[in-house]
Amino acid sequence: MPRAPFRRKSGAREANTLLRLAEGLASSKSRAEDVFWEHELQMVVLQHLENADEEAINRALDRAHDAPDATFDALADLVESLAESMIVPSEAGAQRVTLFCAPILVWGRSKIPTRTIPKPQLQNIEVQLSAHIFSSKAKIAVVDYLFAPDQLPRSYSASHELLQLLADCIRERRHLTMPPETLEEAPDVVCDMRMIIGAFQVAEGEPFYAWQEMTTPVEESRLSSLNVWRTQGGNAIKPLLVGFPHELVLPRTFFAACREADLASRAYSIGASVSFLEAVAGTPPERLVATIGGCWGKGLEEYRIGFSIGDSDEVVHGCVWPLVSDEDDDTPVTEEIESLLRAANVGTIVQLDEQLPLEFCDDCGAPHFPNREGEMLHAHLPDEANGGTMHLH
């Protein structure tokens, strides 16, 4: 997904320094020169992170979008790397500690829980992560909370601080306790993500992941790890989400996992929307009409899919397909969306050619979704929809 820098007020002088160093790294023509620029840039970025001062970082990231070559990627890659990973000394030599995220795609007809993870389940999750995701030499510590995306650290320095706390936990062989009262309320939406957060430690230069120790091709090894994680890790996570259908995404380093989960959630939300309407409105997929429309701001920013029932033009539900940085109106996104809708057995699919506005409800802020006539409407479930509690499989 496109990186969305944490935005705060910022200082121009420090931002100029960061931008100059990032431009040097992006324009380097040799690995030897890369090492120089990386070292210089790393020293400056790390100072800002450790002082919890991100003003210059955020301004530099904003300006880097308009800079030449791959300046933004060079700066963002290094900032993310330093926020989520660090070297700690030990008697056994330098150890690398890295923040990770284990995302879970989930939907439900009632509010998806965020919660403290009981100790027995936490220990089971740790065992499964150690056995199937991380290398045989990795040590890990996990936060005892099932997070919603809105409850994750909101800045690079906050991510770095969480990493430091987890590094202490690994050294002391304990989990990190997260008081629920320190976290904001998660939004009540049909389809969302939940995250298990932790850190792993390996000796510098040692493999991070289980698939790095396998002799089979990398993609095959990674897929094997994912399949086993979904089975064994899924059994450990299932008690936390009873009654909420869910799917596990491959755990990775923190920022990469969050981006991959964002991408996976686009397709997942379509199938989840169809299942949701069948559960709460008793509507079989064959009676649904799905209308796909591109919504424009400064350019094409996202597609919205509005769901109607039968001959009605009322929108009963909708989902959003945000575009990533390399997608535009020439990218075959609508074909992918249509393919997913057909796989979910949606009866009628309508693609609109007109440019639709990015409309939201003035009262609740919910996005509006298109009907087959191209009208942008607030989604409302039919009056006869069953809103009671129901066990979903």
Angle between helices 55-64 and 71-84 (to 10 degrees): 150
Average pLDDT over residues 55-61: 90
Average pLDDT, the chain: 91
Q: Is the pTM of this model over 0.75?
A: yes
- The domain locations on the chain are 12-83, 89-265, 282-377
CA distances from 36 to 43, 44, 74, 230, 325 (A): 11, 13, 13, 42, 29
Residue 341 is predicted with a pLDDT of: 97
**SS3 labels along the chain:** CCCCCCCCCCCHHHHHHHHHHHHHHHCCCCHHHHHHHHHHHHHHHHHHHHCCCCHHHHHHHHHHCCCCCCHHHHHHHHHHHHHHEEEECCCCCCEEEEEEEEEEEEECCCCCCCEECCHHHHHHHHHHHHHHCECCCCEEEEEEEEECHHHCCCCHHHHHHHHHHHHHHHHHCCCECCCHHHCCCCCCCCEEEEEEEEEEEEECCCCCEHHHHCCCCHHHHHHHHHHHHHHHHHHHHHHHHCCCCEEECCCEEHHHHHHHHHHHHHHHHHHHHHHHHHHHHCCCHHHEEEEEEEEECCCEEEEEEEEEECCCCCCCEEEEEECCCCCCCCCCHHHHHHHHHHHCCCCEEEECCCCEECCECCCCCCECEECCCCCEECCCCCCCCCCCCCCCC
Q: How confident is the model at residue 388 (pLDDT cuts 50, 70, 90)?
A: very low
CA distances from 185 to 108, 147, 148, 195, 287 (A): 17, 10, 9, 15, 35
Q: How many CA atoms lie within 13 A of 267 on its CB side?
A: 13
Residue 8 is predicted with a pLDDT of: 44
Question: How many angstroms separate the CA atoms of 22 and 18, rounded?
Answer: 6
Of the chain, the percentage scoring pLDDT greater than 90 comes to: 83
Q: Judging by beta carbons within 10 Å of its beta carbon (0-12, 13-18, 19+), is residue 77 exposed, middle or buried?
A: middle
Residue 304 has pLDDT above 70, yes or no: yes
Residue 171 has pLDDT above 90, yes or no: yes
Residue 253 is predicted with a pLDDT of: 97
Residue 157 has pLDDT above 70, yes or no: yes
Residue 162 has pLDDT above 90, yes or no: yes
Residue 67 is predicted with a pLDDT of: 82
pLDDT tens track for 99-120:
999 999 999 989 999 999 999 9
Residue 393 is predicted with a pLDDT of: 29
Residue 159 is predicted with a pLDDT of: 96
Average pLDDT over residues 312-331: 86
The larger pLDDT score, comparing residue 365 to residue 37, is at 37
Residue 389 has pLDDT above 50, yes or no: no
Residue 131 has pLDDT above 60, yes or no: yes
Residue 271 has pLDDT above 80, yes or no: yes
Average pLDDT over residues 118-135: 96
Question: How many angstroms separate the CA atoms of 99 and 150, rounded?
Answer: 18
Residue 55 is predicted with a pLDDT of: 86
Residue 390 has pLDDT above 60, yes or no: no
Q: Judging by beta carbons within 10 Å of its beta carbon (0-12, 13-18, 19+), is residue 111 exposed, middle or buried?
A: middle
Residue 61 is predicted with a pLDDT of: 92
Closest by Cα among 45, 24, 20 to 36: 24
Average pLDDT over residues 351-373: 93
Q: How confident is the model at residue 326 (pLDDT cuts 50, 70, 90)?
A: confident
Question: How many angstroms separate the CA atoms of 71 and 76, rounded?
Answer: 9
Residue 392 has pLDDT above 50, yes or no: no
Average pLDDT over residues 79-83: 96
The answer to whether 208 touches 198, Cβ cutoff 8 Å, is no
Residue 391 is predicted with a pLDDT of: 29
Average pLDDT over residues 312-318: 95
Residue 332 is predicted with a pLDDT of: 87
Residue 234 has pLDDT above 90, yes or no: yes
Closest by Cα among 295, 288, 344 to 316: 288
Residue 383 has pLDDT above 90, yes or no: no
**First vs last C-alpha separation in the chain:** 30
Residue 2 is predicted with a pLDDT of: 46
Residue 6 has pLDDT above 80, yes or no: no
Residues 6+ apart with CB under 8 A from 251: 100, 101, 102, 103, 129, 133, 196, 229, 257
Q: Judging by beta carbons within 10 Å of its beta carbon (0-12, 13-18, 19+), is residue 314 exposed, middle or buried?
A: middle
Cα four-point dihedral sign 165, 167, 168, 172:
positive
Average pLDDT over residues 204-224: 95
The answer to which of 134-148, 334-348, 374-388 has the lowest mean pLDDT is 374-388
Q: How confident is the model at residue 3 (pLDDT cuts 50, 70, 90)?
A: low
Residue 7 has pLDDT above 50, yes or no: no
Q: How confident is the model at residue 10 (pLDDT cuts 50, 70, 90)?
A: very low
The answer to whether 192 touches 319, Cβ cutoff 8 Å, is no
Average pLDDT over residues 119-124: 96
